[in-house]
Amino acid sequence: MNSLNIVILAAGKGTRMYSDKPKVLHHLAGKPLLQHVLDCASELQPQQICVVYGHGGEAVPQAMQGYPTQFVLQEPQLGTGHAVQQAMEHLDDGSRTLVLYGDVPLTQHATLHQMQQIQQASDGLVLLTVNLVNPTGYGRIVRDTEGDVQRIVEEKDATPEQREIGEVNTGILLAPTEALRSWLVKLQNNNAQHEYYLTDIVAMAVEQGIAIHTVQPAHTWEVEGINSKTQLARLERTWQQEQAVRLLEQGVTLADPMRIDIRGSLQCGHDVEIDIGCIFEGKVQLGDGVRVGAYSVLSNATIAQGTQIAPYSHIDGSAVGADCRIGPYARLRPGTVLANQVHIGNFVEVKNSEIAAGSKANHLSYLGDSTVGSRVNIGAGTITCNYDGANKHRTVIGDDVFIGSDTQLVAPVTVGRGATIGAGSTITRDTPEDALTLSRSKQQTVPGWQRPTKKK
């Protein structure tokens, strides 16, 4: 029995979230709660992943379209046992089934792998439990005098003595699929909630003499569920603190570990320094000796060694070479590629452009859809006019060009190698190499001109 099914219960309405959005689509660390669970589940390489959804209609399947997942609607919602029943027709009996929860986002692969190993060795039922100082609201694990699990009692059905038990059920379990199927059809709803509890299968397993094992996670936050914005905010800070500790242990210098947000993955080389308030989204890589200034935002970016990013800079979908200087208040938009020793200064925006080694745009400029050579100096206030109102066009600037302040380069246009453009010029035609070009004509209106239309 090597194949694995994973059933993710994601049908809850999340009334206490006070939102029209399904609870499992609220974000933690930059992605939906359910996506965290799906990513962890995918690491286990299951044969089948089945998501049981309910409230929110098709919003949940639509949001998770990129995953090879079977979505099953639970309507009406009659409890966790009823939810798992909806998925059973998609599961093969000759396998094992792991039940996870779409609103418990941070369960770790190592914990689930441990459950797998125990189940493979015993072919029994494996429960993920945790000991809590305050177990209020959770089902209690009831054991006999020898310490064997006998059943799970939900709090609303528990006696005062049972409510004193600190070991609680997380809801996450792993069972042989064939046995699980047989237990589910026997579930009754004779309880305070009149629901079909998945936890009732534990007593059935005990009655049949099936071995019941328990695993506990390394961290209690792995099994924390989200039912309110307060809980979401608390778990967000817990997870950010965990990631900060991981970076510190790897040698990264954090100005304040409490003021960093990682909403994706962040890989750092040696001697990286990160100031306060920085946000890292998607996949970000920082090379050796990189320094990131306060309140900068980096999304899906690669920063090579020795580069310094001054405060309040935004870098999105870009690759920055070694020993560059970025910011403050710089913006690199998707498609930007900077070679080594490039300077992009304050209030400079670069989009979909390649800038070769040693070039500088230090002040108040816009470079869009451009190819810039080496050792180019872009004067303050220079812009590439890449958009004619309907279509984008490219600007090419050769090596060793000097462009004076307040210049407009009206694309498509090429500035020849070694050219100098006088300040205040509007360049509408290609300029020759190694020559000074000026354009300071009197204002005029062009009769009969028509705005371009978008090409099909």
- Phi, psi torsion values for 14, nearest 5 degrees: 70, 50
Beta sheet of 343-346, edge-to-edge order:
253-254, 273-274, 291-292, 308-309, 325-326, 343-346, 360-363, 377-378, 402-403, 420-421, 436-437
Q: Which neighbouring-strand residues pair with 175?
A: 97
CA distances from 58 to 30, 64, 99 (A): 22, 10, 22
CB-CB neighbours of 438 under 10 Å = 13
Helix (H) or strand (E) holding 5: strand 4-10
DSSP state, residue 24: G
For residue 363, indicate whether it is catalytic: yes
Catalytic residue among 27, 213, 219, 363: 363
d(CA 266, CA 300): 10
d(CA 187, CA 175): 16
Q: Which residues contact 443 (CB under 8 A, 6 or more apart)?
A: none
DSSP state, residue 205: H
Sign of the alpha-carbon dihedral angle for 154, 157, 162, 166: positive
CA nearest 392: which of 369, 409, 367? Answer: 369
CA nearest 412: which of 399, 431, 425, 434? Answer: 431
**Where do we find the tokens 């003595």?**
161
Q: Which residues contact 322 (CB under 8 A, 6 or more apart)?
A: 287, 304, 305, 306, 307, 340, 341
* DSSP letter for each residue of 109-165: HHHHHHHHHHHHHH-SEEEEEEE-SS-TTS-EEEE-TTS-EEEEE-GGG--TTGGG-
Name the token pair of 54. 């309910």
- Secondary structure of residue 172 in the 3-state scheme: strand
Catalytic residues: 363
